[in-house]
Amino acid sequence: MAVRPLRIGPDGWVDGIRHVRSPNCDARPAGVAVELLILHNVSLPPGQFGSGCIDRLFCNAPEPRAHPFLALLAGLRVSAHFLIERDGGTTQFVSCRQRAWHAGASTFEGRAGCNDFSIGIELEGTDFVAFETAQYAALAQLARALRSALPLRAVRGHSHIAPGRKTDPGPLFDWDRFARQAGLPALWLP
């Protein structure tokens, strides 16, 4: 069965996926093109999947009493444009036209502040557990849609733009598999 391609509307929201609006975003600087796709991994609490805690974190409601680790996140204001869960379900939190707060202190090709010119995609996972087939399929489909709608020219992991500070998407992320499925040219990859 053919998968229906995703479409990004003029408002920067992707049709056909779940939307949960995060307040943790703002306007991109005027005249700055979206050129970079940044891949992350996240699990909340650490190593646990399907808890709903990621949604709550991105919406500033992490429920700190639910787990001791979540208490450490109280007051943290972060987001990403997208989350791809273990089953491939995809949620959009921030319009592609806006700046999500996912990269922090970061640099790409000598340019600081990668949030200004990037799209952030969180994969539900850790550095220690392989990603699921459904996640690669959803990521490839989303990357194809983003590539056709935006002037993207590269994909990097959080570890590439914040070395020494971040390790995601981690050593178990299969860059070749992702590139093959998404139809990305080799020069796009780290």
List, as own/partner pairs, every contact residues 42-48 make where C-beta atoms lie below 8 angstroms and the sequence separation is at least 24, other chains included: 42/83, 42/122, 42/123, 42/124, 42/125, 42/168, 43/124, 43/125, 43/126, 44/69, 44/70, 44/73, 45/69, 45/70, 46/126, 47/126, 47/128, 47/129
Distance CA(28)–CA(86), nearest Å, equals 30
Amino acid identity of 161?
A: I
Q: Looking at the DSSP assignment, which residues form a beta bridge with residue 155? A: 37
Catalytic position from the list 35, 85, 122, 132: 122
What is the secondary structure of 119-167 as a DSSP string?
EEEEEE-BTTBPPPHHHHHHHHHHHHHHHHHS---EEEEHHHHSTTT--
3-state DSSP helix/strand/coil % of the chain, to nearest 5: 25, 20, 50
Active site residue 124: no
Q: Active-site residue numbers?
A: 122
